[in-house]
């Protein structure tokens, strides 16, 4: 069965390579063959790297440049014109199912699908339109928001199957799509990671990473991996690290991100005295696991806004699979799987709460680090593995009726 995956990604986002391609490669064993159509504004170097990565996983890759002049309008025009690229890919690869990830790829796909009965899967990918309202200053009354909300609802109604990252997102999308939208078409899929790659590794490797950072083997290492922006509460991260460093002056904070300059600026604005204890860097996706495995605490704060009900932070699984206990915002994604021996869930980020987290980390986690490492790993394997994700996707795709 040939599947066209239509996606939209910026040059500094590696979701395609790090999250979806490993899933697609495993689904190949069940008879699903993926072809990627990616809208982006990446450099030739990034595009070529993505193409090679796709082909190494058995997927074809087609790049569609996004019009960047007048960003919102350019994106909309690109999506409207993108229907031709969807049609071309379907004809070239004899596509059986279209999967559109998020709203603008859904628009391109819906334009192609007019008058056609090609099976369609809408990967809602959280609540991205509401994230723009919560964190990017977009007004719910704006023309762009209302237009894209309509596209989202049309995609849910037209889809044979809708993929979400949380149960809460199902009720929200179902209500927006209107009466008659069957709950049975919704499937929750996880952002699983390869447990063979994301693992605690060996002690010598963990020590070597700390040596590269210029810190002792027994120095507490706090890590954050992922995108940066207001929804990830960077000031809260720095506040917590400051509390930890007050008790353990040898503590170090490692930030792995595709936009390192954002946190560098944040550190300078927040407290320049922390700069010597903070390392901010960009690393290749395949190098992330070894850096994470050396950490003693992973941060996964999220602002508890409406849009955050639909997300499933990839970093939760990455941390846990690497044996790293986490501090995370309760109710965001799969946080309910995190028990007291795998992490610390917070309902807010006030000073008293952060002081409790710092105390827990210093007086409970660090003295029993190996016990936490083992338990975190087991929780990660059970709930956040690549195998669990592949099975969820397999069931969702098998629910689609394809004409033989």
- Report the C-alpha gap between 302 and 299 in whole angstroms: 10
Task: Give residue-wise pLDDT tens across range 376-402.
Answer: 999 999 888 999 899 999 999 999 988
In terms of residues, how long is the chain? 404
Residue 403 confidence class, pLDDT cut points 50, 70, 90: confident
| Phi, psi angle pair for 335, to nearest 5° | -65, -20
- Report the C-alpha gap between 122 and 97 in whole angstroms: 11
Confidence check: pLDDT of 375 > 90: yes
Provide the strand spans (E) within 215-294: 221-225, 252-256, 278-281
Residue 14 confidence class, pLDDT cut points 50, 70, 90: confident
- Per the model's pLDDT, the better-predicted residue between 136 and 363 turns out to be 363
Burial 148-186 (b: 16+ CB within 10 A, else e): beebbbebbebbbbbbbbbeebbebbbeebeeebeeebb
Least confident of 92-106, 145-159, 336-350, 351-365: 336-350
Residue 364 confidence class, pLDDT cut points 50, 70, 90: very high
Nearest to 301 by CA among 230, 373, 380: 230
Residue 149 confidence class, pLDDT cut points 50, 70, 90: very high
Confidence check: pLDDT of 72 > 90: no
Please, is 67 exposed, middle or buried when counting C-beta atoms within 10 Å of its C-beta (0-12, 13-18, 19+)? middle
The DSSP result for 276-332, as a single string, is: GGEEEE---GGGHHHHHHT-SEEEE-----GGGGG---HHHHHHHHTT--EEEETTS
Average pLDDT, the chain: 93
Average confidence (pLDDT) over 99-124: 96
- Report the C-alpha gap between 379 and 392 in whole angstroms: 18
Sign of CA dihedral 262, 347, 251, 192: negative
- Report the C-alpha gap between 49 and 41 in whole angstroms: 14
**If you average pLDDT over each of 65-74, 222-231, 330-339, which comes out highest?**
222-231
Residue 313 confidence class, pLDDT cut points 50, 70, 90: confident
Average confidence (pLDDT) over 363-368: 97
pLDDT for residue 404 = 60
Across the strands, what pairs with 96? Answer: none
Confidence check: pLDDT of 347 > 70: yes
Secondary element (H or E) of residue 251: none
Least confident of 140-144, 160-164, 227-231, 362-366: 227-231
pTM for this one? 0.86
Task: Give residue-wise pLDDT tens across range 189-242.
Answer: 988 999 999 999 999 999 999 999 999 999 999 999 988 888 889 999 999 999
Beta strands 97-101 and 2-8, pairing class:
parallel
- Report the C-alpha gap between 3 and 11 in whole angstroms: 24
Residue 50 confidence class, pLDDT cut points 50, 70, 90: very high
């Amino acid at each position: 069965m040939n599947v066209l995956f239509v996606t939209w990604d910026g040059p500094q986002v590696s979701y395609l390579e790090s999250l979806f391609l490993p899933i697609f490669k495993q689904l190949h064993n069940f008879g699903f063959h993926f072809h990627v159509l990616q809208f982006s504004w990446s450099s030739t170097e990034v595009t070529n790297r993505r193409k090679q990565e796709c082909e190494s996983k058995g997927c074809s890759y087609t790049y569609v440049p996004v019009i960047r002049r007048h960003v919102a309008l350019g994106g909309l025009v690109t999506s409207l014109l993108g229907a031709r690229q969807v049609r071309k890919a379907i004809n070239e690869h004899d596509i059986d199912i279209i999967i559109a990830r998020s709203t603008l790829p859904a628009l391109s796909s819906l334009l192609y699908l007019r008058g056609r009965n090609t099976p369609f899967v809408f990967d809602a990918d959280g609540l991205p339109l509401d994230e723009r309202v919560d964190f990017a200053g977009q007004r719910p009354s704006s023309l762009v928001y209302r237009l894209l909300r309509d596209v989202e609802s049309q995609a849910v109604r037209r889809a044979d199957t809708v993929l979400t990252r949380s149960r809460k997102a199902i009720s929200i999308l179902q209500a927006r799509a209107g009466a008659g939208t069957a709950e049975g078409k919704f499937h929750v899929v996880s952002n699983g990671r390869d447990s063979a790659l994301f693992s605690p590794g060996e002690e010598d490797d963990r020590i070597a990473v700390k040596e590269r950072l210029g810190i002792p083997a027994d120095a507490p290492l706090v890590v954050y991996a992922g995108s940066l922006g207001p929804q990830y509460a960077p000031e809260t991260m720095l506040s917590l690290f400051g509390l930890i460093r007050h008790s353990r002056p040898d503590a170090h904070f490692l930030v792995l991100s595709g936009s390192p300059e954002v946190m560098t600026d944040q550190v300078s604005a927040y407290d320049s005295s922390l700069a010597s204890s903070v390392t901010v860097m960009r690393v290749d996706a395949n190098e992330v696991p070894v850096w994470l495995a050396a950490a003693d605490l992973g941060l996964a704060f999220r602002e508890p806004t409406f849009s955050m009900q639909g997300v499933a932070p990839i970093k939760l699984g990455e941390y846990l699979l690497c044996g790293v206990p986490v501090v995370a915002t309760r109710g965001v994604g799969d946080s309910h799987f995190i028990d007291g021996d795998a992490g610390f869930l917070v309902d807010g980020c006030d000073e008293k709460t952060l002081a409790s987290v710092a105390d827990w980390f210093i007086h409970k986690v660090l003295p029993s680090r190996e016990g936490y490492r083992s338990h975190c790993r087991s929780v990660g394997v059970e709930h956040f593995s690549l195998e669990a994700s592949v099975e969820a996707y397999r069931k969702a795709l098998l629910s689609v009726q394809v004409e033989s």
